[in-house]
Each structure stands twice: as C-alpha cells, then as structure tokens.
Amino acid sequence: MSTDQILQLIDFTYIAAAIGFILSLKWLSSPVTAMRGVLIGEVASALAVLATLFDARVTEHKWIIIALLIGAGIGVPLGMVKMTAVPQRTALSHAFGALSAALVGISEYYVGAPNISKFEMGEIGLEVVIGSLTVTGSLIAAGKLQELKWIPQRPITYKGQNYVSLSVLAAAVLLIVELVFHPEKTFLFPIMVGVALVFGVMLVTPIGGADMPTVISLLNSYAGFSASLLGFVLQSKLLVVAGALDGASGFILSVIMCKAMNRSFTNVLFGAFGQVQAAAAGAKEERVVKSASPEDAASILSAANRVVIVPGYGMAVAQAQHKVRELCDALIKKGIDVKFGIHPVAGRMPGHMNVLLAEADIPYDRLLEMDAINGDLPQTDVALVIGANDVTNPAARTDQGSPIYGMPIIDVDKARTVMVIKRSMAAGFAGIDNPLYYLDHTLMLFGDAKKFVSEIVQHLAGSQS
C-alpha cells in the first residue's frame, strides 16, 4: 500500500472509532445494554490507537510502546480501586486527561514557535490554559476527596476572593491575547501556563464537601473541552468529537447537580466561587427530639408494609452499605416492600450512591431517583434516613429564609414514621438546622450507621425465631 492509502485507511478507522464512541454512549442509557456500550468503546479506542501506530509520521516506535506500557501499568491499578475510592480516582483521571491534552498543546507550540499564525496561537493558548487549570484543579479535588492531610477539606474562603481569582483568570487570557499579537514574545508562554496552573488551584480550594459532585462534573467538562480544542489545533476530527462528547457529558452532569442543589447556571460555568458559607440559621432554642433504640427501630420496621431507605454520604463514610443490604434482605423476607430513594447529589460524585449499593448487591430496580420516590412517600410506613441530612430537610420546601430554600429534597417527612440514623445532633455540611428531626413522627437513632443497622438486623432476626 502507498503512504496515501495507509493515511486514508487510518482516517476511515478514526471515523469508525467516532461511530463506536457515539454508540458506546447510546448503549449506556440503560443497565441492560451498558456492557455492550463499554465493549464497543474499548474496540473503537483500541482500533484507533493501533491505526495511529502505522501513521507514516511516527518514525520511532520503541519509546512509544514503552510509554504505552507505563500508561497501562498506571492504568490497571487505577482501574482496580475500591468503589468508595471512585470519586478521587475519577478526579485523578480528569487530571491525567487534561495533562495529556495540555502537554500535546505545549509541544505543538514549541515545535512551531515563534512562527505561528495568530489563529493557531489563539487556539493553542486557549487549549493549554483550559488544560492546565484542569490539571491542578483536578489534583486538588482528588486530594480533597482522598482526604489528604495537607489539603484543606473545608472550603477556604477569604474576602475579595472572587476578584482575586477572576483577575488571575483575566491575566491568563491577557497573556493569550499578547501572544497572539506578539508571537515573538515566546517567554510569555510558560508564564501563561503557570498562571493557568495557579488559577486551577484557586478554582477548587474554595469548594468542598457537598459541592464535590458539582466540581467533579465541571472538571470533567473542562477536560473534555480541552481535548476538543486540541482537535481544533491538530485538525483531528476524532479528538473534536471525543472531546465534545466528554465535554457535553460533564456539562449535563454539572447542570443536573446544580439543579439538585438549586444553584444558578453561572455558578456551573465558573465553578461555585466561594458559594458555600451558608450561615447557620440563628435563633436556636432547645427543642426536643425523640430517640429510639435498635430494638424499637426493628419492631417498627417489622410492623411496616412499605419502607423507603434514603442513604447519603454518611452511609459511605461508615461503610454501612453491606449491612444495609442485610437489612434490606431481612425486611424483604418478612414480605415488606423496600425501596431506596437516591438524591442526585447524595454522595461525592454523580451516581455515587447507586454504585455503592449495587456493589453491596442491592438490585438496581429497587434504587429510585428523587422524583420517582417522592410520589410514594405519603403511602410509606417508614422512611429510614442513613447518613443523609440536607437532602431531606423540609425547610427547603417551606422556610423561605433557609439557605437551601428551593432545593429539591426527598420528602421523607411525608412518611408515616421517619427514622434517622445519625451520629449526633451536629448540623449537616451546610450548617443548617434540620426541622425534620423535631417532628412528632420522627425518631432519632443515634450511633454509627454500620453498627446501628447491624443491631437492627440482629433484632429483626431475633424476633423471627
């Protein structure tokens, strides 16, 4: 085959790969076809990589093969992490993806510089800036999720933070503009990269805890769009398509997360700049809560016909999902209808709770999203809240003064009895008091989620014999 024919063949492989990517996402729509989706994604990616190795521009293969092997060596352990570690793994992979895109952009710049057209410079500048800020932003996010000691978990905010952050971003943009009009000032390029890296850190440090699902989706979107921009620079339509799909996915997830937290759309695009200091509502008179023992809880549950379990991040922290499965099994054995109500922002990344519960072998047809479960709650005997707080706070529906007013919640308060497993009466992440706990039909179950659930299971088993 002539070189031209090989190039054509490679191009056709890329088109086939793009089709594979699209089908892959299409089949991910349902758990039934999802596995097929992964398979076609794998085949498409493998074909594209293989075809590229035959590209005539690739003159040296040895080091590339070694780099691929090193990549596989890093990738395999990162693919084998525990399910609870998936959020930080995902953040880390956003960093790797963006790093790769940024490095290719940087190489492309130095190969051409300073003889680079204005247009190309603009593209490269934008691509490298978005890529670089995503690298540091994702690393900080991964560190926060991994709960590294030297990375502050709580959001760090200071006065005028938005102005400082935005000026840093503006500086990066000005540097791109300067490079476009004065391409001979090549020394500005590394400064631009540095400023973008700093901005990435500033973007994510003010955000923490409950906002992590939004941040991680946002970084996903940035990583995708930087790959797409790289496709513009290199005139690779395959990268444009893959990046656009990834970017769109992160974007939609960010929007879903934002809606689930009642945040505005501008917050989505620029990150939730210092949004989180919801002041704890003042006037805190001592109100009475009713608490109950595992034994009481077990007898109330056995008397129920319908139970809805609402898990939150606290369940993941306590590693209680396997015990929850046992509880679920024990109740089903008694002929009780058990469903799970999953809030979109429960957990630390989109869909996190579903993965943890699926890992514990809870069939996915019992996992219902917020809108699906809310209609059932008025006919529910017991709503059991495990490690969730703000997403069940009825103040979001009723109290216009509440910082979370308007946020869609799971209406557990509409169930006949509400039971809440909680360590103590400390306020949730947002520091907002939860009136749910003082309702007449609410029972507080104080203790560690895992231990409490397993005690309930024991009492359920005991009452049977």
User: Which residue, 251 or 452, is less far from other proteins as judged by CB?
Assistant: 251
Q: How far is the CB of 366 from other proteins (least distance, A)?
A: 7
User: Which residue, 5 or 235, is less far from other proteins as judged by CB?
Assistant: 235
User: Which residue, 119 or 270, is less far from other proteins as judged by CB?
Assistant: 119
User: Which residue, 235 or 400, is less far from other proteins as judged by CB?
Assistant: 235
Cis, peptide link before residue 114, omega less than 30° from 0? yes
DSSP for 160-221 reads: THHHHHHHHHHHHHHHHHHHHH-TT-TTHHHHHHHHHHHHHHHHHTT--GGGHHHHHHHHHH
CA nearest to 423, candidates 452, 391, 465: 452
Q: How far is the CB of 460 from other proteins (least distance, A)?
A: 16
Q: How far is the CB of 46 from other proteins (least distance, A)?
A: 9
Q: How far is the CB of 96 from other proteins (least distance, A)?
A: 4
Phi-psi region of 60 (alpha: psi -120 to 50; beta: other; left: phi over 0): beta
3-state secondary structure of 416: coil
For helices 212-234 and 118-146, what crossing angle results, to 10°?
150
User: Which residue, 117 or 153, is less far from other proteins as judged by CB?
Assistant: 117
Full strand arrangement of the beta sheet holding 442-446: 367-369, 337-342, 306-311, 382-386, 417-422, 442-446
User: Which residue, 229 or 300, is less far from other proteins as judged by CB?
Assistant: 229
What is the number of residues in the chain?
465
Q: How far is the CB of 135 from other proteins (least distance, A)?
A: 10
Neighbours of 400 (CB within 10 A): 7
Helix (H) / strand (E) containing 451 = helix 449-464
Question: Which residue matches tokens 């797409």?
Answer: 228
User: Which residue, 78 or 177, is less far from other proteins as judged by CB?
Assistant: 78
CA nearest to 137, candidates 145, 242, 227, 258: 145
Amino acid identity at 291: S
Compute the distance between CA of residue 290 and CA of residue 250 in angstroms, rounded to an integer: 42
5 Cβ partners below 8 Å, 6+ apart? none
User: Which residue, 143 or 274, is less far from other proteins as judged by CB?
Assistant: 143
Q: How far is the CB of 39 from other proteins (least distance, A)?
A: 9
Q: How far is the CB of 1 from other proteins (least distance, A)?
A: 19
175 Cβ partners below 8 Å, 6+ apart? 125, 188, 191, 192, 195
Compute the distance between CA of residue 180 and CA of residue 122 in angstroms, rounded to an integer: 6
Q: How far is the CB of 446 from other proteins (least distance, A)?
A: 30
From residue 29, alpha-carbon distances to 37, 124, 207, 337, 464 in Å are 9, 34, 30, 27, 41
Residue among 390, 411, 413, 433 flagged as catalytic: 390
Has 413 been annotated as catalytic? no
Quote the tokens at residue 47.
């074909």
Active site residues: 390
